[in-house]
Structure 1
Amino acid sequence: MSTIANKKILPPLTFTEPHLFAGYGTHSTATQPPFEKLEVFGEKVASPSHLLNELEATAISGNDILSSVFYVSGLCTIQAGKLAPLCLLLVALVLYLFRGIYAETVTALPCNGGTYNILLNCTSKQFASLAACFAIIAYITTGVVSALTAIAYLKTILPWLPLETSTIFLLVIFFLLTNYGISESASVAKTIFVAHVFTLLFLCFFGVLFMLCHTDQLRENFDSPFPRVNVAGEHLDGTWLTAIFYGFSSAMLGVSGFETSSQFVEEQQPGVFEKTLKNMWTGVMLFNPLLSLISFSALPIDTIVKNKDTVLAGTAEVIGHWVKKKLHFPEHWEVGGALSLWVSVDAFIVLAGAVLTSFVGINGLIRRMAMDRCLPQVLLLKNPYTHTDSVILSLFLFLCVSQVVLLDCDVEALGGVYCYAFLSVMCIFAFGNMILKVKRPSLPRIHHVSWSSSLLGFVSVAVALMGSVLGKPQLLTYFLVYFICIGTLMVVMFNRVNILRVVLFILRELGAEESPSIFAAPTRSPHLASLSESTTLLSTPTPPSTPSRPSRRSSLLTLITRKISAVRDVPFVFFAKHDDLYVINKAVLYVMKNEQTSRLIVVHVGSKDGGEEGRNLMEHIRIIDLLYPKVKVSLLMVEGEFGAGMVGWLSKEMGVPLNAMFISCPDKDFKMKIQELRGMRIITY
């Protein structure tokens, strides 16, 4: 230590602003806490108090994906005509590929967040946030389409309901419910799911019997011409190729919600996630193509297109009349109306459940991104009375209502916007799976999918996305408005320090004065010396200080400088398993590129003094600290064994959340289970 210090590697520093020089790092040691504490913290990190079983997890996801059966048949028929059932079958086959893609990717990184989480651990934080923009728009449109279709089915019972007002009212109701603290209940979700599946099975059973006895309407529909198509704004006569191409693109709306299970994978019992994927795929494979074919045997194509929002209600009414006649029910029994009423009520309930899923899902995603400082911290403010994320929920409600008004309750238009967002999410997820194979090959995973399956899944969704863009180019404007608004907010968040520095420069050029003696020039001090105050790195966390309101004498320059310091004075942790200068240097470069911080604490868990490796690690951290003056690189050596309990204890004692802790890519000898990462980020090979 002394030898290197006497060489004076760097000349005396003269930086006078905290964003130019972060200060010198420190070295601290800590003794392993009592075993009882580690056990308690290990249990908190390892798993939540209650884990969902297969039926509960499938119900939450299935209520979302199986609700699409009520509107996808009509939307697909508009584009594909008589080939709609085939297009829906092709989509189910593509979804089979994504079963493997999702299984491999999420079992490798079983943390909440879906696409955002995968890219966050395999690429840059900026790219992950870009993908999250698509996910946010998909959540918005899912909520709106579900609410709008729910009201459309309710109008078959109460035809006097105003569509737009009722849709907004339904969104407000679920905003109030979630804001009050009512979220997804597993028992309620199970009840809705079981009732919904029973309704679909009942309709399919009698629908197949009806179809076998009534082939005239089916043949008439199959003799109809292919629908005209919109190719980049030009209307052309349809062919079987255009029907499959555009129909397949529209039919992809029928798998909306397939990504839902990956958003709450941490709350599921081991092995349940893969079963939810299988169950959702089975439902899509069975119900979507079959119910579309049944509707073709009951209704003319023109009627299906005209009543695209309530196709199944009309189909159920026709089948009900046939059942009444075949079973010789009394004449005054309105079997057709009763069956249509049953389907409409079921549609309203399960679609309303999908609206609730949207509110709950977007709340978790935005909160995670706000905690990662991708979005403004004001979104983390909680309602003091209900302790819910009222700011997030209010913003989501506003965006949903704006879509209802801007697109004038047009389900087809909303479906187009949703396709842009959802297909982009699916496409990026397949891309993330391929990146995972390349950049995290040593990461343990339960399932493996071939490169051909990943590529085929990616190309299939890309083709569907192209069909949506060519078939509905006018909707690209609405999509871009939401994407630009959300993306701009994230760009500002990622560059707020640079923006403040530009403002600082401009004000100085204009002659603004700064209050003196606010930030003194740092004095040179030994690096990584043993601290007299050994609790510097391990101490009870205190809330981040907010810059006090400047007095009239304080200049605007001082206020901006304080703001820059407050933004950057947030610590991050990197766990170094060995004394590997190359890996630690990569970790520092990653933090400088992806995080707006001036503090990085390298933590090494091992023997008390670390031995020869510990001494070398101290020397290397000192060198790293000298190389990067904008980041204060400190070293904390902890006696003990690395594991979930140690991570939980360090998180509490240092005041650093798990999502601000980084590790190298685990291998088969990793001390923790992959499920215990709980937001810890993988940033190096």
Structure 2
Amino acid sequence: MCTPAVASDVVRLQPTESPVETPQVPPPFGQHQWDTILRRQRSRPKDGKGVKSSSLPSIFVNLSNIFEFAGWGTLDNLILSPEDLDHGKAGIQAVRRARLLGQFTASAIAGNAVLGSVFYALPAVVAISSVYAPISLFVACLSMFLWRPIMEELASALPINGAPYAYFNNVANKTAALICASILVLDFLSTAVVSAATATSYLSGEVSLPFPAWVGAVFILILFTLLSLTGVRESARLALAMLSFHILTMVVLMIAAAVHWAHTGNELLRENWNAGKASSSSGVARQIFNGVCLGVLGLTGFETTPSYVAKTKTNVFPLVLRNLHYPAIVLNVILMTSVLAIIHLPDITSGANILSLLADKVGGAWLRIWIVVDAMVVLCGGVLAGFVSSCQLFEQLAQDRILPQLYLKTMRVTSSPHISIFTCASFCALLYATAAADLSLLSKMFSFTFLCTMATFPLSLLLLKFRRRRLPRTPHTPLLLVFVTMAVSAVLIAGNIAIDPTTAGYFAPYFIGVFLIFSVTQNKARLLRFAFWFYDHHSSLHAWRFTKGWGARIIDILAAMKRQPVCILVKGDEIHVLSRMLIYADRNEVTSCVKIIHFTDDEKGVPSELEANAKILDEAFPQITIDLVIVYAPFNPINVVALAHRLNIPPSLMFMGCPGKDSPHKLEEFGTRIITS
């Protein structure tokens, strides 16, 4: 439809000239930019009611535009009540009180997994690298020096629980975060299965069990499922006590081995070396490299340390990594060398419990029993840690509305997340059964899963440097080190595949299965829309007895899912920033209601174009109701938590831009997600 030209835009012709039609020049943008906007906005209902419409026909044959188009947004001015502010203060105090873990208690939570890994790492490495096992373990432990500055910078920039899933959720999108969450689920549950299987293996190697070893592993998994249902939580003090007992046990074993070695000399070490050394330099390199690829089992547990960084005291995280790294080097290398110096090589590779065998050689039956008890205690602690970590991840995924809200429900008496616990137990049973209870295969897959998890850290830091470079943090890891770590991760993963391709073959279906489940739950609205489209275009389904009324049910389910609003916390009124944040919410969240939140005080006031731009975007996104909420309060964590209480919207569904180095507030206290640079 053409618009008539105004008089000032018509070029007048001289009488002597022929009447040539001149094209009309549109008026400058400044003359009519508000005319079009205001004309369209006048058609909106003033009370915000009514449904947006479009001249484009709906893709649904038998449904009105109400299904596809949301209502018009409104402008609200809000003042937080004293009750809201009290709730905000209580929430921030709870976050600050949670930072109670010192360097030793924080180290103990992951320390049982890291230092307890000697029970399954040493047999796996010596089986493949023979007498070069101490070298392989030493090189594998040294590789952690690449990851430590990367993990420290990430924890400094994003001191929030749930890493590395939380990192990708703040530096990328939900699809990337779901890939990371799928790997984490496999890592946590592999920890539980391998720990249970290793504990049973140690016990069956010492006493004659009246049942197969796999039955004992299943019994341990069932036992800890029941313990988890009773409400047992991971206690830092209990973990510290278990770790202290384990360290004492290992120190006694190393001292006894050193004394025995001093009395017997190096004759057996030379004999083992001559019997197990490779015939060529290429063979030596291959055995050492294969041992390094599996030697990372001695570092399993490091990937869990950032998942509870919000509970540690300030500047403690680097000390935690240090406290775990150096003992891991000492335990793995010294114990492996002592085994080769004291036990004959055929006995080492026979599949016996090499640490209990070492204890029997250097101390007798009493030390052997002590080692077995220590193995059972530490490894069972690994089973519980795997369950607890998985349940915490499921809870976070449910809060982000990736998993159903059923995962947030707890039992009345014990307050345990029973749905999450049963999910963990079922997956552990599936993992153990499909591996045919083969501990060697499970250990290899565990090593592969651990490496995939560790590979996410340099990748997330690279994305953080590129997309969230304004975040204040120390230290600043050189880009070269990030790329080197990514390359090392790729080489170690490829090495594990080369050692045994079935490892990746077992990992792939589990990863694809978990990721597909998460993808379905994340994209459930799109799948339901497709289901309704299919139902709508086949009239025969409308009359069939079993499918009659399905359309109304699908609409009700979709409406219920989209009823939960999300919030966008904005500082200014730049429309390109607002549109980017809205596009993120539209692509990553299931919602038809977005609230643009701006905190203001008497000094700064409201940005002049914020209301107009919000109305433009409300028209540009017909599938979303965009409300503008002006909160008359300063922008700080207390008021954000108070607003979440007032609007009944969890902070995990509130999004904000990246804070700069001059921000006076701590990021972890907001509890929100960063979605723009």
Q: Please give the TM-score of this superposition, normalised by the length of structure 2.
A: 0.88
**Mapped contact 2:53–2:622 kept (Cα < 8 A):** no
Distance 1:647 1:41 in 2: 12
Match of 1:280 among 324, 331, 344: 324
Aligned residue for 2:401? 373
Aligned equivalents of 2:40, 2:493: Cα separation in 1: 59
* Equivalent runs, 1:238-387 vs 2, <5 Å: 239-307=283-351, 310-320=353-363, 336-387=364-415
2:464 maps to what in 1?
A: 436
Query: Secondary structure of 1:224's partner?
Result: helix
CA change 1:202–1:640 in 2 (3 A) is: same
3-state SS of 1:374 partner: coil
Aligned AA (2:54): L
Give yes or no for the alignment of 1:619 onto 2:612. Answer: yes
Q: Partner of 1:681 in structure 2?
A: 673
Whether contact under 8 Å (1:606, 1:637) holds in the other structure is: yes
For the residues of structure 1 that align with 2:526 and 2:334, how far apart are their CA atoms? 56
> In 2, are the aligned partners of 1:45 and 1:644 still within 8 Å (CA)?
no
Q: CA separation in 2, counterparts of 1:406 and 1:238?
A: 35
Normalising by structure 1, report the TM-score.
0.87
- Partner of 2:629, secondary structure, is strand
Q: Tell me whether 1:94 sits opposite 2:133 in the alignment.
A: no
Query: Quick check: which has more Rg, 1 or 2?
Result: 2
Q: Offset at 1:225? A: 4.0
Find the residue that maps to 2:594 and give its secondary structure.
strand
Cross-structure match for 1:206: 256
Aligned to 1:493: 521
- Please identify, of 472-481 and 408-417, the stretch whose mean Cα deviation from structure 2 is larger: 472-481
Matched, 1:176 2:226: yes
Structure 2 counterpart of 1:585, one-letter code: S
State the Cα distance separating 1:222 from its structure 2 match.
1.6
Deviations 1:450-508 (A, max 9, x none): 22222222222221111111111123332222112211111212322222122212212
Instruction: Give the aligned partner of residue 10 of structure 2.
Output: none
- Residue 363 of structure 1 and its aligned partner are, at CA, apart by 0.5
* One-letter identity of the residue aligned with 1:28: D
RMSD: 2.5
Matched-pair contact (CA < 8 Å) for 1:423–1:461: yes
State the 1:313 CA deviation: 0.7
Structure 1 residue 442 displacement after superposition: 1.0
Map 1:462-477 onto structure 2 (within 5 A).
Answer: 462-477=490-505
**Cα–Cα, structure 1 residues 247 and 225, in superposed 2: closer, same or farther, change >3 Å?**
same
- Distance across 2 between alignment mates of 1:314 and 1:41: 55
Q: Is the 8 A contact 1:91 1:248 kept in 2?
A: yes
Within 5 A, what are the aligned runs for 1:584-663? Answer: 584-607=578-601, 611=605, 613-663=606-656
| Aligned CA distance change for structure 1 residues 352 and 513 (closer, same or farther; 3 Å) | closer
**CA deviation string 1:344-373 (max 9, x = no partner):** 111110111111110110000111112212
1:149 paired residue number: 198
Structure 2: segments with no counterpart, 5+ residues: 1-32, 44-51, 59-63
Tell me by how many angstroms 1:585 deviates: 0.9
Displacement after TM superposition at 1:405 (Å): 2.1
Shift of residue 100 of structure 1? 1.0
Q: What secondary structure, in the 3-state scheme, does the structure 2 residue paired with 1:259 have?
A: helix
1 CA distance for matches of 2:475 and 2:275?
A: 45
Per-residue deviation at 1:559? 1.0
Gap regions ≥5 residues in structure 1: 229-235, 321-335, 516-550
CA distance in 2, matches of 1:481, 1:226: 37
Q: Do residues 504 (structure 1) and 532 (structure 2) align? A: yes
CA contact (8 A) 2:88 2:640 kept: no
Q: Which residue in 2 is equivalent to 1:28? A: 76
Q: 1:558 — aligned with what?
A: 552
Give distance in 1, aligned partners of 2:338 and 2:326.
Answer: 18
2-structure distance, mates of 1:552, 1:424: 46
Aligned equivalents of 2:66, 2:424: Cα separation in 1:
37
Q: What amino acid maps onto 1:592 in structure 2?
A: D
Asked whether 1:224 is paired with 2:288, we answer: no
Higher relative contact order by CA 8 Å / sep ≥ 6: 1 or 2?
Answer: 1
Aligned residue number for residue 78 of structure 1: 127
Q: Deviations over 1:160-182 (max 9, x none)?
A: 25311111111111111111101
Which residue identity does 1:187 align to in structure 2?
Answer: R
- Identity among equivalent positions (%) equals 27
Check whether the contact 2:88–2:641 (CA below 8 A) recurs between aligned residues: no
Partner amino acid for 1:221? Answer: N
Query: 1:450 is matched by which residue type in structure 2?
Result: P
Q: What amino acid does structure 2 have at the position aligned with 1:21?
A: F
Contact 2:448 2:503 in 1 (8 A): no
Please state if 1:13 is matched with 2:65.
no
Q: CA deviation at 1:118?
A: 0.6
Q: Residue 600 of structure 1 aligns to a residue in which SS?
A: strand
Match of 2:449 among 414, 421, 429: 421
Given residue 565 of structure 2, which amino acid in structure 1 is its aligned partner? P
Aligned AA for 2:348? I
CA distance in 2, matches of 1:620, 1:468: 54
1:440 Cα deviation (Å)?
1.2
Quick one: which of 111, 121, 133 aligns to 2:170?
A: 121
Task: Call closer, same or farther: CA 1:553–1:501 in 2, change over 3 Å.
Answer: closer
Q: CA deviation at 1:591?
A: 1.0
Amino acid at match of 1:643: N
Partner of 1:672: 665
Instruction: Letter of the 1:404 partner, please give it.
Output: Y
Q: 1:623, 1:647 → 2: CA distance?
A: 26
Give secondary structure in 2 for the equivalent of 1:614: coil
